[in-house]
């Protein structure tokens, strides 16, 4: 069966479903005719935004609930056939200010979800949103899944533990699960209210507001980027493919680009914004990882996934989206790092 056909009438759940990737995934699932339940705690500053389901809200259900609450999760997981587990705290910076909060959100909650599946829905398939951040500084490029896990911040450590719980529950308790290690995902519906969740959303906001984008050092560090629709497609494929069970897969871009070139491209497409090169702040340098880009061939081989939206096209869509809906994403600028 085609992996898209697999979702027709399928009972799915998305934790973090009102967030950036979760809501874009929900749009695809609704279009495919799935029975979609979104779970989101709407924790301030985390990325959940009711406007993210504008236009599809009537075609899915929402439970405003915290994945850490066992009794609620025990109830919600019942009868869900595929669970996309995207809830999380994604700010590296916040994790270093309040490491216990990061632990609660990125470890405790996943154990609660997995225990709920183990005891109340052992037939569920769970797809976890992992991150390339767990690799830390790359020792070789492009980075494959054989690279050492060596996180440089508390968020990366806890995200690695969250991933490993899923793989252990697959191997020991037979709750089918796999993990997608996402690189830098960008696109419509990303949080751009503050700059603590990665730089790409924030750079997009600054360009839109015709402000100055500050780049640390000479901007030569390399990264790869995935458009959010391509990331969502990877989740769909992994959820429908049992060959993925018990494994982690890189999900990255087709090629690497420097911060400098990315910013030039962004400003060029936007027609607004400017760039300024500044010295590395010490505390940022301490958790920077240098060049990073992923080898996604394991995912491509296992599922046939391929990124289809290039950076020019993706940034063009993204800028148009935020231009149209700016007030829903950037009306207030919350406290910054």
Q: Smallest distance, Å, CB 148 to its own copies?
A: 6
Which residue, 8 or 137, has its beta carbon nearer to its own copies? 137
Residue choice 1, 44, 58, 172 for contact with its own copies (CB under 8 A): 172
Residues 5-44 that bind its own copies (CB under 8 A): none
| Neighbour-count burial of 69, counting CB atoms closer than 10 A to its CB (0-12 exposed, 13-18 middle, 19+ buried) | middle
Is 73 one of the binding residues for its own copies (CB under 8 A)? no
DSSP annotation of 148 reads P
Q: How far apart are CA 145 and CA 235, in angstroms?
A: 17
CB 77 within 8 A of CB 117: yes
CA distance 163 to 182: 12
Report, in Å, the least distance between residue 61 CB and its own copies.
28
Q: Is 222 in the site for its own copies (CB under 8 A)?
A: no
108 interacts with its own copies by CB under 8 A: yes
Residues whose CB is less than 8 angstroms from the CB of residue 149 and which lie 6 or more positions away in sequence, other chains included:
134, 135, 136, 160
Q: Rounded distance, CA 215 to CA 220, Å?
A: 10
CB of 126 to its own copies, least distance (A): 15
Check binding of 112 to its own copies (CB under 8 A). yes
Using rule CB under 8 A, residue 262 touches its own copies: no
- Judged by CB under 8 A, the number of residues near its own copies is 30
Give the nearest distance from C-beta 164 to its own copies in angstroms. Answer: 4
196-227 per-residue burial string, b: 16 or more CB within 10 A, e: under 16:
bbbbbbbbbbbbbeeeebebbeebebbbbbbb
Helices 154-173 & 109-120, crossing angle to 10 degrees? 10
Q: Does 165 bind its own copies (CB under 8 A)?
A: yes
- List the x/- string, 136-155, binding to its own copies by CB under 8 A: ----------x-xxxxxxx-
Give the interface segment with its own copies, choosing from 77-85, 112-120, 177-185, 205-213 (CB under 8 A). 112-120
For the bound state, the minimum distance from the C-beta of residue 245 to its own copies, rounded and expressed in Å, comes to 14
What's the min distance (Å) between Cβ of 292 and its own copies? 17
Q: Which is closer to its own copies, CB of 50 or CB of 161?
A: 161
Which residue, 26 or 77, is less far from its own copies as judged by CB? 77
**DSSP strand E in the chain: where?**
11-15, 35-40, 61-64, 82-85, 125-131, 176-182, 184-186, 212-216, 222-227, 248-251, 256-258, 274-278
Q: Which of 122, 118, 127 is nearest to 3 (CA)?
A: 127
Least distance between its own copies and beta carbon 289 (Å):
12
Instruction: Give the pairing of strands 125-131 and 222-227.
Output: unpaired
Q: Which residues bind its own copies (CB under 8 A)?
A: 96, 99-100, 103, 107-108, 111-112, 114-115, 146, 148-154, 157-158, 160-161, 164-165, 168, 171-172, 283, 286-287
């Amino acid at each position: 069966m085609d992996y898209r056909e697999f979702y027709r009438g399928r009972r799915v759940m998305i934790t973090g479903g009102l967030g950036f990737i979760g809501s874009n995934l929900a749009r695809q699932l609704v279009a495919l005719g799935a029975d979609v339940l979104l779970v989101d705690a709407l924790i301030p500053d985390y990325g959940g935004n009711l406007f993210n389901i504008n236009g599809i809200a009537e075609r899915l259900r929402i439970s405003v609930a915290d994945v850490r609450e066992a009794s609620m999760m025990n109830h919600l997981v019942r009868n869900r056939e595929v669970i996309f587990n995207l809830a999380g705290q994604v700010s590296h910076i916040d994790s270093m200010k309040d490491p216990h909060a990061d632990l609660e959100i990125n470890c405790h909650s996943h154990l609660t979800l997995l225990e709920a599946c183990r005891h109340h829905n052992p037939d569920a398939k769970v797809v976890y949103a992992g991150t390339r951040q767990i690799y830390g500084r790359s020792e070789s490029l492009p980075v494959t899944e054989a690279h050492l896990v060596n996180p440089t911040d508390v968020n990366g450590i806890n995200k690695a533990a969250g991933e490993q719980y899923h793989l252990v529950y697959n191997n020991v308790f037979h709750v089918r699960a796999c993990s997608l290690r996402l690189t830098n995902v960008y696109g419509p519906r990303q949080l751009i209210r503050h700059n603590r969740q990665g730089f790409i959303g924030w750079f997009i906001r600054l360009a839109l507001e015709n402000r100055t984008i500050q780049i640390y050092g000479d901007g030569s560090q390399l990264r790869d980027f995935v458009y959010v629709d391509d990331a969502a497609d990877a989740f769909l494929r992994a959820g429908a493919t049992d060959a993925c069970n018990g494994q982690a897969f890189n999900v990255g871009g087709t090629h690497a680009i420097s911060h400098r070139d990315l910013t030039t491209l962004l400003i060029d497409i936007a027609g607004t914004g400017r760039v300024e090169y500044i010295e590395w702040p010490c505390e940022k340098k301490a958790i920077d990882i240098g060049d990073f880009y992923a080898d996604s061939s394991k995912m491509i081989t296992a599922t046939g996934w391929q990124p289809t939206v290039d950076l020019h096209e993706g940034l063009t869509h993204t800028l148009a989206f935020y231009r149209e809906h700016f007030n829903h994403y950037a009306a207030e600028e919350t406290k910054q790092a």
